[in-house]
Structure 1
C-alpha cells in the first residue's frame, strides 16, 4: 500500500503553513520530554493531503523511527468500521435498524436490567423492550466495559475476564452469550454508555451475512477502499512495522513500554473484536475518512449511499439530547456538552457548548490508545493523529489538536 504524500500546498486550500508548524512543534515537545514515543498526523482539505508530519519512534527501545508504513492498533477506531460494515447490510435489506438483536443472537431475548445490590448478587428486572440494532450503533444498549470500574455491572464484566480484553480462547459468539447473561445498566434506548455494543454488532454482522467478521470487512469495506494494511492482526512479514505499545506513568507522565498490552496484535485473535480489534496505518485509515467525507465513496469505490451516511451523522440520542445529558460520566477525552452521537460517531451539535472550535456536524471518534480522527464536512477537513499511548486522556492531546488545526485555517 502506498504511503500518504503531500498533495497540495497548504495555501491553495486555505491553510497557513507557518501556523501548521505550531501543530508540529507542540506535538514534538511531547516526544522530546518522553511523554510520547512517536506520532504521525495528516491534515487533508477538499480531498487533498495538505499537511503530513511524523516524529519520534515507533519503538523507542530499539531505535526504530515512526515511518509512513508504521502499523498502529486502532483500538476503538475499529468501531466506526464496524458501523459502516453493518450499514452495508442495512442497505442490502439484510438487517434493519429496528430489528431486535435477539433475532440474530437469541441469547439476548431475555436480558435484564440492574436495579441494586453488589456485583456478587445483583437484583434485576426484565427489560420493557428489546435491544435493537440501532441501540448497538448508538451505544444506548445498556451494555458496558469492565475497565470503567464505576458500577457493579462494570465489576461483573471484570470478574468474568472482560476488563480491557476478552478471556483467552473465547470466540466472539461465546463472548456474546456471556454478555447477554450480564445485567444491563439501563433500559435500552434511554441513555448512553460506552461498552461492548460494537462487538455485539460485529456478531450480528457475522450471523446476518453468514461470513466471519474479518472476511466481511475485507469484502465490503477494506478491499473496495484499498485498505490493504488493515486487519485483525499483523502477519509475521509485517511485524517489524508494528509500533510498540506504551502506557503513561501516572507519576511522571512519561511513556513506559507495555508489551503485555500490545502483544496480542501479532496473533490471530480467538475473538474478532468489532470494538477494538483492528490494526491499521495512517494511509489506510485516511482512505476510510475520505470515503465518509465523500458521502460513502472514494477513489471510484462506493461503500455506502450518501443518504445512509447522512443518516449516520445525525444525532440519534434519545430526545436529541447531548452526551452530557444522557451519557455516563466515564472515560472520554472528547467533550460531551453540545455533542450528540450518531450511528457510530460522536457528532458536534453546538460548538460553543462543546468548547471546541468546530463546525456543527463535525464527527469523530478516538481510542484509549491515543489514535483519533475527525471529519469536518463544513470546512471539508479530515484529521488523523496516530500514536500508541494508554490512556489517551493522560495528556490533553486531542483537544489541543483541534485548536491547533483550526487556528491554521485562514480562508
Structure 2
C-alpha cells in the first residue's frame, strides 16, 4: 500500500480553498493510513489535530437509520407499516398539486406514508426547516422545539408528491428520529447513547457539547468567491431548537469516533470488539438499492452517477456509470460541510474523510478521493 497520492491530494485541496482536511483509512480493522493538512483556525493559524469536533450534518443520517433498523430487528416496527400506526398525525395527508396551467391545488393523498418511505426519502417531504408549522413550534416552545413536536407539526405541511412515487432529499430522517422516540420511549439522544455510541465507546459523539468538548469544536467556514477566501461561519442551521435532535443533520463527532461506528457497519454490523449494532442481514438491506423505476430518475446528483439509494445511504450499483474504482456494494453518505463516509464489506475497508467548510466542493473532492483510496490499496 502506498498512500502518498492520497496525502498529496489532501495537500492540494487544502492549498486550494478548503481550510483543512483529514482522512482516516481502516483496512481489515487496522488503521493503515491517517493524514491531515491545513488549519483548524485560519485566523490564528492553528493546525488541525485529531481531537477536533465537527458538525457531521448528513452523516448523521447513517446512524439514525441504524437506530431505526435496530427497532425493525426487534419487531417493534416493520418497513411496510403505515407511519400513522406510530405517528397518528400522518394518517390523512394532503398533496400539493401543480395543475397544467400553473394553478396550485391540494388533494387528499391516495397512498399512506410507510415507514420505509422515511428511510428511502420517498415520503413526499421537503427540506424546508422554515415551514410555518415548524416555526410555530419554535415560537410556542420558546426555542426548545423538541424532536417529537417538530415531527408532529411537520405533518401539517402538504406533501410535494404521493408517497412512494419520487425520491426527494428531505426531512425524512428527522421524522425517523421522532419515530424512534415514539416506538422506543426514550429521547432520541438517549437511545443513541444507550444503543450505539455508548457501547462502541464513542465518547465525543452526540447532539450537545460539554464545556470541554466545546473548547475542541473546530471553527466552520464558508468559501467566499467574491473575497477569494474562506470566511468564518459557525453554527448549524438545522439545529432549530435547543431540544431538537435532528436525525438528519444534528450529530457532532470526531474523525476517530465516527470511524468506529462506520467500521462496525463495514464489518456487517459488529465492531472488532464484538459490539453488535445490527445483524449482517440488516446491513445488507441497508446497502441494497431501494430505488424503483418510478423513483430512480429523481436521484440525479452528478457525483452519485452509478449509485443507487438504500436505507439512508448511497450504494454502488454500476461501475460503468460511476467511473468509480470501488467495488459494487460500497456504500456511505456525506455531510454539508464536506465529510464523507465510505464503507466496503467486500474489501474490508472503511474511510472517514472530514473537512469543515460549507459550499464544500463535494462533486470535485469526493469522487477523486474515493478513486485515490482504492488505487492506493
Cα displacement string for residues 96-153 of structure 1 (whole angstroms, at most 9, x for unaligned residues): 1111111221111111111127xxx94221112211111101111111213xxxxxxx
**338, 342, 359: which is aligned to 1:391?**
359
The alpha-carbon deviation at position 264 of structure 1 amounts to 8.9
**279, 302, 306: which is aligned to 1:338?**
306
For residue 22 of structure 2, give the secondary structure of its aligned residue in structure 1: strand
Q: What is the rounded CA distance, in whole Å, between the counterparts of 1:70 and 1:191 in structure 2?
A: 38
**132, 136, 152: which is aligned to 1:160?**
132
> What is aligned with 1:47?
29
Residue 32 (structure 1) aligned with residue 6 (structure 2): no
- Which stretch of the first structure deviates more once superposed, 337-346 or 205-214? 337-346
Q: Residues 145-294 of structure 1 correspond to what in structure 2 (within 5 A)? A: 145-146=127-128, 158=130, 160=132, 168-251=143-226, 254-259=229-234, 261-262=235-236, 269-294=242-267
> What is aligned with 1:57?
39
The alpha-carbon deviation at position 302 of structure 1 amounts to 0.8
Q: What is the rounded CA distance, in whole Å, between the counterparts of 2:229 and 2:282 in structure 1?
A: 43
Relative distance call for 1:264 and 1:104 in structure 2 (3 A) is closer
TM-score (norm 2): 0.91
Relative distance call for 1:214 and 1:159 in structure 2 (3 A) is closer
For residue 361 of structure 2, give the secondary structure of its aligned residue in structure 1: helix
- Which stretch of the first structure deviates more once superposed, 82-91 or 185-194? 185-194
Contact kept, 8 Å, 1:74 with 1:277, in 2: the verdict is yes
Residue 74 (structure 1) aligned with residue 56 (structure 2): yes
**12, 16, 22: which is aligned to 2:5?**
22
Q: What is the rounded CA distance, in whole Å, between the counterparts of 1:181 and 1:116 in structure 2?
A: 19
The alpha-carbon deviation at position 338 of structure 1 amounts to 2.5
Contact kept, 8 Å, 2:80 with 2:116, in 1: the verdict is yes
Contact kept, 8 Å, 2:134 with 2:154, in 1: the verdict is no
The alpha-carbon deviation at position 210 of structure 1 amounts to 0.6
Cα displacement string for residues 292-324 of structure 1 (whole angstroms, at most 9, x for unaligned residues): 0111100111111111111111111124x784x
Unaligned 5+ segments in structure 1 are 1-14, 147-156
**286, 295, 299: which is aligned to 1:312?**
286
Relative distance call for 1:70 and 1:141 in structure 2 (3 A) is same
Structure 1 outlier segments of 4+, above 6 Å? none
Q: What is the rounded CA distance, in whole Å, between the counterparts of 1:378 and 1:263 in structure 2?
A: 37
Cα displacement string for residues 37-92 of structure 1 (whole angstroms, at most 9, x for unaligned residues): 21210112122111101111222223332111111110000001000000111111
Relative distance call for 1:403 and 1:253 in structure 2 (3 A) is farther
Q: What is the rounded CA distance, in whole Å, between the counterparts of 2:312 and 2:164 in structure 1?
A: 15
The alpha-carbon deviation at position 160 of structure 1 amounts to 3.0
Q: What is the rounded CA distance, in whole Å, between the counterparts of 1:114 and 1:290 in structure 2?
A: 41
Relative distance call for 1:196 and 1:354 in structure 2 (3 A) is same
> What is aligned with 1:149?
none
> What is aligned with 2:323?
355
Relative distance call for 1:374 and 1:248 in structure 2 (3 A) is same
TM-score (norm 1): 0.84
Q: What is the rounded CA distance, in whole Å, between the counterparts of 2:94 and 2:364 in structure 1?
A: 38
- Size of the aligned set, in residue pairs, is 368
> What is aligned with 1:12?
none
Contact kept, 8 Å, 2:14 with 2:37, in 1: the verdict is yes
